[in-house]
Every structure is written in structure tokens, then in C-alpha cells.
């Protein structure tokens, strides 16, 4: 099975900062990675798919990069509404594993 | 509007059974793979099961106890959960795969609000 790890597990930022979250797959998975945002008490929301493609309606301050085993989610110009936990997911092959999450505090 | 709505959760004793349902609307249901993803209280997301047009997939932790199925005529996907254990306690989300090619290998672009399953004596 493909394991997904994320770092850091939590981070603090100030409004206007640029933050980067890293996700690493235990095997190469091409660009079959999605990133989700889950705000407290809410349903997860798709931000990015195919490692770097922004889902419709997602602000352009979110961006994704990577392929193979190493992936990043960057939030430039962090806003108060970005307080959430961010999860990466492998969808290259089953099991469609999620990373453990990165909690962003402002 | 594309929508998923789960139902069927509740409180069950260990060893019991539940059938979760997920009703879909707003898209051509038969063309899309669907997933079940769960989240234990205060924990992260765990993929549970997926169903394509004809194949089913399960996490090792639920294989043999959970059964996913779909009724394209009703636009509903089900998750039959047997031999419930305390660690099955979670919110269960139904999700739709973004691409309508029928395969499970895609991001989840639509999520239902979830249904809570609590396993306790």
C-alpha cells in the first residue's frame, strides 16, 4: 500500500504570509494527488487535483506542485479564512490513502 | 446542483449491523465512481471503499465486514456494515469522483454532509 506522510503536522502563520505544506508518497504516484481543505466542523473541500490543477472556485492563492513522490501545497498571502486542516490524498491506486493532515493556525 | 446526502447512521452495539445510504442528484450517476470516506472523532480522513461501474474496492481494515453497492436506477450508493467494532465510530462521508469515466482513480469533488455512526454498548 502507498503511505502518505505530511509535514509539518501543524503550523502557525500570520495574515499575508506564504506557507508550504509537504506531502510525500511511499512510492511514485505520478501526479495522482489531490489536496483537500477541512475547516473546523465542516465537510472537506477539494482544492487541487492532478497535483497542480486548481479546482473551480478555489482562490488563486492556493497552488500545488510535484510529481512522483514529493508534493507541495502553497498558500500565498494567507487569509484568516484559511484556518483549516489540509489533507493530501493518493488516487493512483487503491487503497486511496490520505495523509494525516496539517493544521494551519493563524 | 450536484448533491450527495447520506443517511442510515446511528448508535449500534458492537457486533451489530448498519446500512448507510447515499442519495445523489444533479449528475449522470451511472457514469461516476463513488467513495465512502470516514473520519473518527478528532482524527483524519480514512478512505473506506469505492465502487466503479462494476468493481468494488475496500480498505484492509473493513474488508470482509463492509460491502459497497450501487443502484443506478435510484442514484443511490450503499455501504453495508457488519460486525461493527468500536473503532468504526466515525462520520461516514459519501464522495463523488471528479471525472465521469467510471473509474475510481480521481479526486473527490463533491462530498455529502456525512452521517455519524457510533458503536457502543
Instruction: Give A 52-81 residues with CB within 8 A of chain B.
Output: 55
pLDDT in tens, B62-104: 999 999 999 999 999 999 999 999 999 999 999 999 988 888 8
Does A96 contact B107 at a Cβ distance shorter than 8 Å? no
What is the percent of chain A where pLDDT is above 70? 100
Q: Which residues pair with B97 in a beta bridge?
A: B108
Mutate to test the interface with B, among A2, A43, A99 (most CBs of B within 10 A): A43
Rounded Cα gap, residues B46 and B93, in angstroms: 10
A76: exposed, middle or buried (Cβ count in 10 Å: 0-12, 13-18, 19+): middle
- List all residues 6 or more positions away from A58 whose beta carbon is below 8 Å from its beta carbon: A46, A47, A48
User: What number is the average pLDDT over the span A83-93?
Assistant: 97
pLDDT in tens, A24-75: 999 999 999 999 999 999 999 999 999 999 999 999 999 999 999 999 999 9
Give the DSSP letter string of chain A.
Answer: ---EEEE-SEEE--TT--EEEEEEESS--TT-EEEEEE-TTS--EEEEETTTEEPTT--TTEEEEEETTEEEEEESS--GGG-EEEEEEE-SSSS-PBP--EEEE-
pLDDT confidence of residue A72: 98
pLDDT confidence of residue B22: 98
- The whole-chain average pLDDT of chain A stands at 97
Q: Is the pLDDT of residue B3 over 90?
A: yes
Q: Which residues of B touch A94 (CB under 8 A)?
A: 50, 57, 104
Asked if B116 reaches chain A (Cβ–Cβ under 8 Å), the answer is no
Residue B30's Cα: distance from chain center in Å?
Answer: 16
Q: How confident is the model at residue B4 (pLDDT cuts 50, 70, 90)?
A: very high
Q: Is the pLDDT of residue B54 over 90?
A: no
What is the percent of chain A where pLDDT is above 90? 98
Amino acid at each position: 500500500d502507498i503511505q502518505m506522510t505530511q509535514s509539518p503536522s501543524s503550523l502557525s502563520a500570520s495574515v499575508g504570509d506564504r506557507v508550504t505544506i509537504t506531502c510525500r508518497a511511499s512510492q511514485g504516484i505520478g501526479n495522482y494527488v489531490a489536496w483537500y481543505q477541512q475547516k473546523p466542523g465542516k465537510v472537506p473541500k477539494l482544492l487541487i487535483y492532478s497535483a497542480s490543477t486548481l479546482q473551480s472556485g478555489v482562490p488563486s492563492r492556493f497552488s500545488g506542485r510535484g510529481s512522483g513522490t514529493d508534493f507541495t501545497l502553497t498558500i500565498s498571502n494567507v487569509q484568516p479564512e484559511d484556518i483549516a486542516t489540509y489533507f493530501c490524498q493518493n488516487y493512483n491506486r487503491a487503497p486511496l490513502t490520505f495523509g494525516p493532515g496539517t493544521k494551519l493556525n493563524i | 446542483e450536484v448533491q450527495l446526502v447520506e443517511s442510515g447512521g446511528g448508535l449500534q452495539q458492537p457486533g451489530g449491523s448498519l446500512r448507510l445510504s447515499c442519495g445523489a442528484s444533479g449528475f449522470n450517476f451511472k457514469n461516476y465512481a463513488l467513495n465512502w470516506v470516514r473520519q473518527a472523532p478528532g482524527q483524519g480522513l480514512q478512505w473506506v471503499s469505492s465502487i466503479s461501474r462494476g468493481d468494488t474496492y475496500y480498505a484492509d481494515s473493513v474488508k470482509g465486514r463492509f460491502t459497497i453497492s450501487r443502484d443506478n436506477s435510484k442514484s443511490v450508493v450503499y455501504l453495508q456494515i457488519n460486525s461493527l467494532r468500536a473503532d468504526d465510530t466515525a462520520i461516514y462521508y459519501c464522495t463523488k469522483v471528479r471525472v465521469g469515466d467510471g473509474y475510481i482513480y480521481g479526486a473527490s469533488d463533491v462530498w455529502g454532509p456525512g452521517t455519524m455512526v457510533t458503536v457502543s454498548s
